[in-house]
Chains A and B, each alone.
Chain A
Amino acid sequence: MSTIYQAKSIRTMDPHQPHATHIAIKDRHILAVGTADDIADWQSAWGPLEVNTDFAERTLMPGFIEGHAHMMEGLLWDYHYVGYYDREGPDGTIWPGLKSIDDVVAHLKQIQDTRDDPSEPLIAWGFDPIYFQGRRMSAADLDLVSAECPVAVLHASLHILNANNFIMDAADVKNADNSEFIRRDDSGQPTGEFLGQLGMYMAMRTTNLDLLAAASSPKTLQTFSQVARQTGVTTCTDLANPVPEGAEVAMRETVEKDSFPMRLVVAFQGNSLPPEESVARMQALQDKQSDKLRFSLVKFVADGSIQGFSARLKWPHYYNGAPNGLWYIEPDRLREYLTAFTQAGFQCHVHTNGDECTEVTLDAIEDALRAHPWPDHRHTLQHCQMASRAHFKRMKTLGVGVNLFSNHLYYWGDEHRAITMGPERAGRLDDAGGCLEEGVPLAIHSDAPVTALAPLFTAWCAVNRLSSTGVALGGESEKISVEQALYAITMGAAYSLKMDTEIGSLEVGKRADITILADDPIVVGAMGLKDISVIGTMVDGNVHLNQGRDA
């Protein structure tokens, strides 16, 4: 079917024609973009075309592209959200933020009292104690929810977990050896808070459940795509996935359906196998791809997180004196992998949080490119939160792109100023302005489920650079304009995925992936970006309306 959609405003992200009001779609692609004056010509060339006015009062944009998220976002909605900020669930329900530990406990207690089988483990996620003036959650708090079944609360960072005494007793924690990963109170008693993956391990051992399993089950994929649709995302990444044998077939069955509202780009976890086998696995995945499912990227995680003090920072390291972080891959090993994948012609995305890790990764990429020159490799640094201008200059020279974790400015900006890196370095955190000025291709991301998947919110963060308490990080040179931010969540991300000839802008011949907004972001301006309502999306021209919104 061929349709002309009339809109109040179309922001195309195509410099030849930045603004339009009508868009014609045929066979899953964009046939034409223009105004009411063009309709007669389109009809005579390609007609008949049906004119649809469902979105006549709406703004259309290229479908948003999330260049760094994880399928786990789809899994976590099986559990109960207890974060500080409101968060929209896959069915459009707004889960209100819980503003105190007591609120979290009361919310879980209510769930416990009304669910079918109160002996099942009760798992919650998204908790973040940094907003509670130093008070930490204890096992006794969670015993108020229930002491008769396992109760576990996973923190927003995914790296800390609180357990109730049911779990603590099962694991015999009171008699446990001293470990810096078990938080203890002043009297030396374990509080119920566990660092790293220890808490998740205990919860899994106690409940005999694999809480993180089913990471690519059809249900998880469905939920993931629904969260994406609610926020206007038409192409989303899963960064990364070990893609065990057979997973590619199962994923494709779900993703291929026209009712599945999302294109999925899976990054293969490069170090899940030794270099040679890893390249072979990646090669084997290539003919398993389709228009909607890609296995086009290889992902590496080279260091940890800044707020978890596991990122690798250059001197003077952490502001609070914490020891420098961890390498997740040896620098030599990273070089070996990057060289093997560069030789084989696969684009690599490398997680580098700290500036030392960014430098080491650039060294490794430079060595790989000396050995196997490749002008359009588009290797991309993911997060890359502490990069300096010198790093951006070097990326430009090497042809390396960047995908910045702009949401950090809001969620952890205050912490970075006060604790992890101090005001100067926090001022240039996720420096999108510097990145663009130095000519480095830019995308920005949420790292969902670490922070909420919502490209317009991510754009708001990069434009305004405000922490959650309203403190500004850096100045004008680090900010980007609304237009630049909108480009970053569409064409910028498409470029980083090597999909910019297919998606990312509304121009003739590209896929009909469109985000339908209640208001025009250019008109709304910087401060209102995050509050624009997403009406729905089109993927390959198929309309997917959001729950809880009127078209």
Chain B
Amino acid sequence: MSQTLPLRSAQKVSLTIITGFLGSGKTSLLNHLLTQSGGRKITALVNDFGALNIDSELIEAQHGNQVSLTNGCICCSIGDDLMRSLADIMRQDPLPDHLIIEASGVADPTRIAAYAAVDPQLRLDGIITLVDAAAHELHAQDPYLADNYHKQIEAGHMLLISKPDLVEASQVEHLEAKLRASHPNTPQARVRHGQLPIEVVLGLKAEREIKTTTPLAPHIEDHGLASWSAHLHGNLSREVLAEKITSLTPHVLRAKGVLRDEQGAYALHYAGGRIHFENLDVTPSGHFVLIGKPELPNAEALTNLFQPTGS
């Protein structure tokens, strides 16, 4: 007798797809995320163990194509094995908080994202596309790969400009301006040696974490980014909130809130243009956090913008 899985169980896994060409810095970013997980239980599905220089202190055990870490695990899968590896991961008990899939350099990330559409336990947090500042011109004109390259940028919910330190500042600005012109609603950020606050890439931590009022670590500012948090009490309708956040495009990278409106409590996840609401059955803390570019309005303006309309 086979058993039917309770696919609609409450626990959800957030899925982040990291895409970008060979050499664009996917592995460095992943390395950084795995060492800075900040209490998240992360499973990473990678193409190639070889390139991933995993901190030996994190490794608990290695078995075949799976490495167990103190804060999660890394699985290796190639090409058409992705489907089976993913099914295996989603059978794990307990499930990870977050699943990161490092797509191959030529993968179509929308194909991978499609799995989340049919798996109620998998929530697509976003597709992060790495754009190599030093190789952009080369890739954009590659006779065999240019179409794939543009497809990946098109699919990205957030564009991370990697290796900005390897080219002239004006060249990076030119690239950013070009991408902004072609993809005005897709937020961008720069990433050097994979260093980026984990909140930007994976989002803010689960509801239970955000309920506490710990202010965001100052490391956000260290990366040249801005953040703002507040307690929003009273009813704040999902539609209105979505509009307010959208009005900050493309300067907002991430938002998360545990709020309520007339329909009840909800969690909001915002990642690079994608807004996702989730019904909650807890008393919401009213906590709300934004991470964005320095161009975000100042704290006073943001407070005015997000002031709840009723109580």
Contacts and interface: CB of A to CB of B under 8 A. Distances in A.
Give the interface SS of chain A, mostly helix, strand, loop or mixed: loop
Contacts of B86: 201
Grouping DSSP codes into helix (H, G, I), strand (E, B) and loop, the B interface class, with mixed when no group exceeds half, is loop
Contacts of A245: 64
B37 interface: no
Interface string A187-222: 000000010111011101111111010000000000
Interface in A90-133: 117, 119-121
A206 B48 contact: no
B144 to A, nearest CB: 6
B79 A331 contact: no
Interface residues on B, range: 35 or more
Interface string A275-304: 011000000000000000000000001000
A272 B3 CA distance: 31
Given A180-B110, A204-B87, A274-B50, A170 B144 contact: no
A326 B145 contact: no
A36 interface: no
A201 B87 contact: yes
A244 B78 CA distance: 13
A333 B78 contact: no
Q: Which of A119, A173, A197, A301 has the most CB atoms of chain B within a 10 A radius of its CB?
A: A197
Nearest to A207: B2
Interface string B54-90: 0000000000100000000000001111111011001
Contacts, number: 126
Interface string A452-485: 0000000000000000000000000000000000
Contacts of A205: 5, 7, 87, 90, 119
Contact of B3 (A171, A208, A242): A208
B106 interface: yes
B117 A177 contact: yes
Contacts of A208: 2-5, 91
A301 B48 CA distance: 17
Given A121-B2, A205-B119, A274-B51, 13 more contacts: A119-B1, A119-B2, A196-B111, A196-B114, A201-B83, A204-B83, A206-B7, A208-B3, A208-B5, A271-B79, A276-B50, A330-B106, A332-B22
Nearest 4 A/B pairs, CB to CB: A274-B50, A327-B106, A197-B83, A176-B117
21 contacts: A117-B1, A121-B2, A170-B5, A170-B7, A171-B120, A172-B8, A172-B120, A178-B117, A180-B110, A180-B114, A182-B118, A196-B114, A201-B115, A202-B118, A206-B7, A274-B51, A324-B147, A327-B148, A329-B79, A329-B106, A331-B145
Interface of B: 1-5, 7-8, 21-22, 48-51, 64, 78-84, 86-87, 90-91, 104-108, 110-111, 113-120, 124, 144-145, 147-148
